Amino acid sequence: MKIYMISLACITLLVPAANGNYVILGHIIDFVLNSLRKVPEIIPLYPQPKYVDDNPTYDFIIVGSGPTGSVLANRLTEIAEWNVLLLESGEEPGIITDVPFLCGPLEFTEYNWGYKSEPQSGFCRGCTDGRLEWPHGNALGGSSIINYMIFCRGNRLDYDRWAGEGNPGWSFADVFPYFLKSEDARLARSDRNYHRQGGYLTITDVPVRTKAADAFVEAAQEAGHPYTDYNGARQLGVGIEENMKKGIKALNIFKVSYIQANLRNGRRCSSEKAFLRPIRKRENLEIQTGSRVVRILIDSGTKRAYGVEYVRKGETHYAIAEKEIILSAGALNTPQLLMLSGIGPEEHLQDLGIPILQNLPVGEIMYDHATFPGIFFRVNESIPFNQVEALLSPASYIDFKRGRGPFTTLGGCEVIMYIRTDVSTDPDQSYPDMELLMVGGSINTDFGTIYRRIFNIPPETYDKIWKPLEGKPVYQVFPMLVHPKSRGFIKLESRNPFDAPKFFANYLSDPDDTDIRTFIAAIREIQRINQSPAMQKYDSTLVDTPLPGCEREIFNTDEYWACALRTLIGSLYHQVSTCKMGPKTDPEAVVDPRLRVYGVAGLRVADTSIIPHPVTAHTAGPAYMVGEKAADIIKEDWNP
């Protein structure tokens, strides 16, 4: 606990200096975080072998220890006769990752691969170098070490349509038991029969809430949005009128529409902590960190995968799998590894001189959840939610030790809403097309040290829009496009496995501008909610400083917001479909409904890359589900 206190003190004592030079402060925070991550545990949880045997043989080799890979390592080693090797390119996470509040700064440490999207003309034209930050976890626990810990399963239609496209076994009725299997829910209020206790993965309410979040929930209710457990029976919920008819007072509803999070005693509950730590001493599980897989070994004659090549401490090693290799490296790294191994688009691999073993559309489809950081509101001083002041209070350190207080906040994220805009043409009226993520602060809250950099906002733009708001109460709502029409793709930079892939996000590129129009409809709904009495009693006012590059448009017109969306936009890091699941007749499919790579025996993909279309969720929840279901599929296939 002393190290916790020192760590938190080092971070928070830097904040007052932000009123000076926030660029220097950002570098200091980077240095402190990277130093703290190297503080050794008194006893390492996962001692590593000094030497690795040549060509050791296992039943299964799992590549990647994010939510899906960690679940698989846990569930497959339940069978004592099976030996499993789990390879992770990153290292064991340090204690600093336990602090939820630091999820934003963690993106700028070695726990992140540090990927960026390629510059493209149709979006992010006001971002630094025209590029998006695309964090991807590089540690034992994968992206669950650096994400914002928001737990959301998605809408039942996501899965029913997944199954309806020729993927039997993936309907909501099929996958719902796997969500429950993982779960240890400790929620104050939730829909009966939609949660359980006793699983490995802890899900709780966030211990601290700002007054602004309470007001926003109440305002949303006043605007006609119902309370719902978004992981419960209905994602869009039951209307206020229906609740009132049942005698439920609106005031009792206002307090419960908050984020459900992967926290345990106020600390991050990552996939490492949930699924690996309890089983780390199983004799049939070997975990190697710092081990970067660079190629899948495949017999070119039989087209059977039989092992992996990986680099550890600068030396090349090989490991053999008697049964299967399972790729769980995530939606960005799994397609890279497949293509490096000769599995991918024929023309692209030929251009790079990579021998082709199987022509498949790997990386040719990539969806992501885009979000907009440019709509935020000033409130009067009667909402005391100065996060910096709270963090500097000595009481906050004591509170964190007890699992509460400002250090337990998810980087400021507090409320989730799912809405259906008037742009939606989906025939099912219960299917949302936007998520609204309310934050009890804004990009100015940390004086431009971290959140500005998360969205690649240039200093001059920050200085014009957010700097005048420093030290003032501001709250922000991020609209997130849950079912984008635009889709991107991934290419290899070269045949060198240590070169980062090239990511083309293609945001807002759909030909009929549906994505833009849906965003604007969501912005209008945010403004309507803000006009509700619950927010207006705090004089909540839209900040109307135009973004640089959009000054020619009249502020708050549709034309202005279209310009703003193409000027500043961000990612919530929910990439899917890069190794799409589909039936054999689907020309876009890479894996079949049992996660087997088409045309290559002994090789499966199990992570969010197989999800065929974006789900109405933050993707960590579905990633855990994929791991649970994949484990049962593999057990069925090898124990008929």
Q: Which residues are catalytic?
A: 574, 618
3-state DSSP percent of the chain in helix, strand and coil, to 5: 35, 20, 45
- Tokens at 590, concatenated: 């890479």
Residue 85 sits at φ, ψ, to 5 deg, of: -110, 125
Strand, helix or coil for residue 418: strand
CA distance 341 to 495: 10
Q: Which of 535, 529, 258, 270 has its CA nearest to residue 409?
A: 258
- Half-sphere exposure for 133 (CA within 13 Å, toward CB): 21
Helix axes 620-638, 67-76, angle to 10 degrees: 30
DSSP H or E segment with residue 632:
helix 620-638
Calculate the alpha carbon distances from 557 to 129, 378, 547, 568, 624 in Å.
Answer: 27, 20, 13, 17, 41
Report whether 579 contacts 591 (CB < 8 A): yes
Q: What angle do CA 63, 66, 69 make, to 5 degrees?
A: 50
Sign for the pseudo-dihedral over CA of 328, 329, 335, 341 = negative
Q: Which of 61, 63, 237, 66 has its CA nearest to residue 622?
A: 66
Strand, helix or coil for residue 395: helix
- Residue type, position 561, single letter: W
Report whether 172 contacts 622 (CB < 8 A): no
Residues 6+ apart with CB under 8 A from 268: 97, 98, 99, 100, 103, 144, 145, 149, 262
Residues 6+ apart with CB under 8 A from 473: 212, 378, 379, 380, 381, 383, 384, 385, 386
Residue 430 sits at φ, ψ, to 5 deg, of: -95, 5
CA distance 586 to 577: 13
Which residue shows structure tokens 């703003």? 564
CA distance 197 to 200: 9
Which residue shows structure tokens 């209020």? 189
Check the annotation: does 415 bind a ligand. Answer: no
Report whether 80 contacts 284 (CB < 8 A): yes
The radius of gyration of the chain from alpha carbons, rounded to an integer in Å, stands at 24
- Tokens at 289, concatenated: 């960190």
Sign for the pseudo-dihedral over CA of 560, 565, 566, 569 = positive
CA distance 376 to 360: 44
- Tokens at 611, concatenated: 């999800």
Annotated binding site for FAD: 293
Q: Which residues are annotated as a binding site?
A: 293
